[in-house]
Structure 1
Amino acid sequence: MTPGVIFRMADNFVDGLEVLGNAQQNKYAIGSFNFSTAEILKAIVLAAKDLSSPIIVSTSGGEAEFIGMREAAALVKAWRAGTKLPIFLNLDHGKSLKSVKKALAAGYDMVHFDGAELSYGKNIAETKKVVDFVRDFEKTFDKKIIVEGELGYLRGSSSLHKEKLEIKQEDLTSPEQVKEFIEKTGVDSLAVAIGNAHGVFIEGGPARIATPVRGDATSLGESARHADTGCVGWQGVAGGERLYLDILEKIKEAVGDKVFLVLHGGS
């Protein structure tokens, strides 16, 4: 949380758009951390409390099945009331409208619909269905829900990976498609693929790009620039692996401040 910023809390809820908008305006990121037990959630929240930082806590499909969606929502509500922190509960990589409906009924604040494995047109259509349902839900329950879409294919998983990961050029988000995607779906945020990947990698440390991504003026920009991340974390491209920041720059140029950009597996 930037110094001096106070977010309005009413009825144990803070407007997610306000918090994300402040982060966008002041050029900082809000971390999202997955949990499957009350103990993991406690550790996440206490770390955020020490930093006076807003956070997003997420459950994937498997994690939600393990801890329970209603149980997760109840725990987050209790921590939010006890700490007065902006804490948001997010459905991570929801694969269907049914899973989104279950999350909203349980009390989630954000939903991520992952249509990345679908064709581009099908991804737009299915994401739009999710957004339309959520907007109707908001009117009924007078609660703002952040809807995240996904464009580009994020390889890897939350498992421990013993082999190198191959990221292909067709996996990367196309800057030429993002504007149309957000206009046709109406999402609030967009997960992009720019060389990031999910998972913990033990061979050589991080995920490895086995097939180098080579750019041209259309896909990566004339210079095909990339940058070493030089960071190590639970997921993603670290220890000398590369994020293609040219793509991210072009995506940002295309969408402006219309949506919030999300980087999965980026730590």
Structure 2
Amino acid sequence: MLISGKLGLRNALENNYALPAFNYTNLEGIKAIIEAAEEMNSPVIIQVTQGAIDYAGFEYLRDLGTGAAARSKVPVVLHLDHGKDYNYLLKAFRYGWTSLMMDASHESFENNVNIVKEVVKMASPLDVAVEAELGVIGGKEDDLEVDEAIYTEVNEAIEFAKQSNCDSLAIAVGTAHGIYKGEVKINYDRIEEIKKASGIPLVLHGSSGVPDEMVTKAVKSGINKVNFDTELKLANLAALNKFLTENPGVYDVRKIYKPCIEAMKEVVKAKIRACGSENKSWI
């Protein structure tokens, strides 16, 4: 069932868990996410980036996402991840996305607030949730690479949430996009401080590679949405390489990609457990 991001976030906030959010770019990815969510009876967010849209096409990803969500036995939010271009946001509104991120974190605080505020004005009448980002999360997202993270300040987060009226806020507390190159360190105290002061659903980006127990601790500290992408890609790649090595003569893609789907499903299930969303479906 396709639901508004507002409803999904509200349920996660009220019941002290995090919505697991998984990126998809093709049929195999979306099947793995939805099947795993149904087996775990978990609400889920399926999301795409602008890079995924450039690769696969907005219409194809819309058909995959809305079709899978409509048939799903669990609540599904369709989210645009790291939206920066208004043209993508406007198409997301038009094509039935129920949640989107306006990432203006590279702008000044004042500009970030004003940009997000305008998007919220467009999204609210459509019951579309708007996620914003404050602070700078390190690592690589699509073609953008950030060398140095800037932690989100508590007072700025309070003021940002108040001024922008965003539905959720992605904060920088030590995670990084892409593949980690060192030890993962999350500032749980900062999460708790921001959550206690703002009361807004908080989002953790860059969670691939973070040990599941650390994700769970972040959720208990106040995170209500957690993004996962790289680990699904790595699981897919490992299963693909294994199958092709063991079956060099097979060319039937149905046989080739079946183990890839199963491998990604196992990752999705593990992340659902880490987010505490298992058996949290209300439909």
What TM-score, normalized to structure 1? 0.72
- Equivalent-residue separation in structure 1 for 2:17 and 2:54 (angstroms): 32
Matched residue type, 1:157: K
* Highest RCO, 1 vs 2 (Cα 8 Å, sep ≥ 6): 2
Deviation at 1:87, TM superposition (A): 1.2
Question: Within the alignment, does 1:152 sit opposite 2:95 as a pair?
Answer: no
Q: Is the 8 A contact 1:197 1:207 kept in 2?
A: no
Question: Within the alignment, does 1:172 sit opposite 2:155 as a pair?
Answer: no
Could you tell me which of 171, 176, 180 is aligned with 1:192?
171
Q: Is the 8 A contact 2:4 2:99 kept in 1?
A: no
Q: Is the 8 A contact 2:8 2:77 kept in 1?
A: no
Question: Within the alignment, does 1:58 sit opposite 2:47 as a pair?
Answer: yes
Change (3 A) 1:158 1:184: closer
Deviation at 1:98, TM superposition (A): 2.6
Q: Which moved more, 1:55-64 or 1:126-135?
A: 126-135
Query: C-alpha offsets along residues 219-254 of structure 1, whole Å, 9 cap, x if unaligned?
Result: xxxxxxxxxxxxxxxxxxxxx421011211111122
Deviation at 1:266, TM superposition (A): 2.0
Q: Which residue of 2 aligns with 1:254?
A: 197
Deviation at 1:159, TM superposition (A): 6.8
| Secondary structure, aligned partner of 1:80 | helix
Point out where structure 1 has 5 or more consecutive residues left out of the alignment.
Answer: 1-11, 201-205, 209-239
Change (3 A) 1:249 1:207: farther
| Secondary structure, aligned partner of 1:243 | coil
After superposition, where does 1:1-267 map in structure 2 within 5 Å?
13-135=2-124, 138=125, 143-158=126-141, 167-168=148-149, 171-200=150-179, 206-208=180-182, 240-256=183-199, 259-267=200-208
Query: C-alpha offsets along residues 85-114 of structure 1, whole Å, 9 cap, x if unaligned?
Result: 211111110113332112111211111011
| Secondary structure, aligned partner of 1:89 | strand
Number of positions where the alignment pairs a residue of Structure 1 with one of Structure 2 = 206
Give RMSD over aligned pairs: 1.9
Deviation at 1:158, TM superposition (A): 4.2
Q: Is the 8 A contact 2:135 2:152 kept in 1?
A: yes
Deviation at 1:125, TM superposition (A): 1.3
Q: Is the 8 A contact 1:93 1:114 kept in 2?
A: yes
| Secondary structure, aligned partner of 1:116 | coil
Between structures 1 and 2, the one with greater helix share: 2
Matched residue type, 1:194: V
Matched residue type, 1:262: V
Identity %, equivalent residues = 33
Query: C-alpha offsets along residues 5-50 of structure 1, whole Å, 9 cap, x if unaligned?
Result: xxxxxxx543433332222122111111111112111111111111
Deviation at 1:146, TM superposition (A): 0.7
Point out where structure 2 has 5 or more consecutive residues left out of the alignment.
Answer: 209-283
Matched residue type, 2:137: L
